[in-house]
Structure 1
């Protein structure tokens, strides 16, 4: 066989150069670097609270005098004092029942604790009394040091001072117990947000309950206007009881947290009753006591998702 590239077909050239078309051994999926040099990158980006600037004119009398006399000196004495007002960013209420998925609840609580000013972050947790100890045990080792932008923010510092002054019971990470100077997220027990100041506080308040009725009574003590409610409860009848009892919130997520609401958004906006199943989720929008409600929860089926 001639080795001249001009006289060989691609297949013959491949054989002549001893390059196998298909290797005999597959390349390993697990490499040395994946085991001994595993890289873990943590997303350090956090959200800051929404701001609203409020201008308060200072020296209104001088301003009026300046307008009447058209005196430049008097007009120059007018100064604007700017006050900053911090706003909630769609705060969420989470309710955990006995039998609910504690692991999922812990995951999203940890996420909200380390990024408390993010959109849809949990602001208040209601937990059934019988699962409180188990929840705390699973949560305590998940705390990490609070990101510097949050730990040094005036809102979080104010909340820390308020908690100290109130001598409130708080839940912190195990690492903070060993290292007092380490700033970790905080859950405040049995105090509502209005005790910690107006607007977002940078912490999560925690309350216990025994029955769904008691849960809604505890919820009414909070001054926060929640944009949605996340319920972890395998008993849908009990979860729907919460939906019926909470009259000031329209969006309810049962056994899920980041569900896509687009499939039911149009019906919700146009005030139309609708029930549909889409990609493994039950979507429902109904009117209850003259208020539009949107309910979402995952469902299981024996058919594969073609999408």
Structure 2
């Protein structure tokens, strides 16, 4: 009698598929964090794509203890309330590893029982309970108000000019190495960049792959490149070398498909995203 091959596909495997093994579980670090793992700064102007910016901010706020959290957002005064409403409408319940994180619990307690009232925004109770909602602090306080390290909340500040944005960037406590700038124009980023100690500027995009421009940045050489629908620029401003990236095609949000902050493209001398490109 013939033996059944090990890779034989039976009827049940197709029509009554069952899983006998659990998928791998991600272990989250629940210890108090005394540092910011690459905090990010966002700036949204009245001429920016508010829906895209609100979506990106809300998504990042659901994982505030992952590397590169969104710590602070600066919003132009005339769109402040509108933008807050768009972000809040995208809030949902955070995962247990966030709600039960000691930094998150301490920050929420500081807001509720602090020495003076602080304005902050939570999700609608139909979307998430107050103890498990993303937290957007809309008062004038900075992250100094919270215990040291990643606070688990995002602070929002208003501005009218690029000088105001530079001041907000300076007095907030996390060390930012990247700015996400949402504005249909790009000229204001060149006004802001010389006055902030930051190296990466993503205009109307999130963490675009820096494969092509990184060698010039490391060698401190001025360069402009057009690759995969993006404008890449390496230049010296205010005594510091900076990279400015913005899309020139319709794919405004296409980004590197490597995990955030762990791009493999540069090390492999190849693009990990080639299979996802349509241009």
Q: TM-score, normalized by length of structure 2?
A: 0.75
Give the secondary-structure state (helix, strand or coil) at the position aligned to 1:262: coil
Kept in 2: contact 1:46–1:118 (CA 8 A):
no
> 2:28 and 2:123 mapped to 1: Cα distance?
21
Structure holding more strand per residue: 1
1:211 maps onto 2:161 in alignment: yes
Aligned pair count?
226
Following TM superposition, where does structure 1 have runs of at least 4 consecutive aligned residues deviating by more than 3 angstroms? 44-49, 178-182
Q: TM-score, normalized by length of structure 1?
A: 0.68
Change (3 A) 1:239 1:262: same
Give the secondary-structure state (helix, strand or coil) at the position aligned to 1:256: coil
> 1:49-78: per-residue Cα shift (whole Å, max 9, x none)?
8x7xxxxxxxxxxxxxxxxxxxxxxxxxxx
Kept in 2: contact 1:145–1:182 (CA 8 A):
no
Change (3 A) 1:47 1:131: farther
> 1:87 and 1:192 mapped to 2: Cα distance?
16
Give the secondary-structure state (helix, strand or coil) at the position aligned to 2:104: helix
After superposition, the CA RMSD in angstroms is 2.3
> 1:270-300: per-residue Cα shift (whole Å, max 9, x none)?
1111110001100001111221111100013
Q: Quote how far apart the aligned CAs of 1:221 are.
A: 1.5
Corresponding residue for 2:231?
A: 282
Kept in 1: contact 2:42–2:70 (CA 8 A):
yes
1:236 maps onto 2:186 in alignment: yes
Q: Which structure is larger by alpha-carbon Rg, 1 or 2?
A: 1
Q: Give structure 2 stretches of 5+ with no counterpart.
A: 1-24, 251-276
Q: Quote how far apart the aligned CAs of 1:45 are.
A: 6.4
Give the secondary-structure state (helix, strand or coil) at the position aligned to 1:174: coil
Corresponding residue for 1:93?
A: 41
Between 1 and 2, higher relative CO (CA 8 Å, sep ≥ 6) is seen in: 2
Q: Quote how far apart the aligned CAs of 1:86 are.
A: 2.6
Kept in 1: contact 2:40–2:176 (CA 8 A):
yes
Change (3 A) 1:306 1:114: closer
> 2:56 and 2:27 mapped to 1: Cα distance?
15
Kept in 1: contact 2:92–2:128 (CA 8 A):
no
Give the 5 Å matches for 1:45-194: 48=29, 86-164=34-112, 165=114, 166-175=116-125, 182-189=131-138, 190-194=140-144
Structure holding more helix per residue: 1
Give the secondary-structure state (helix, strand or coil) at the position aligned to 1:207: strand
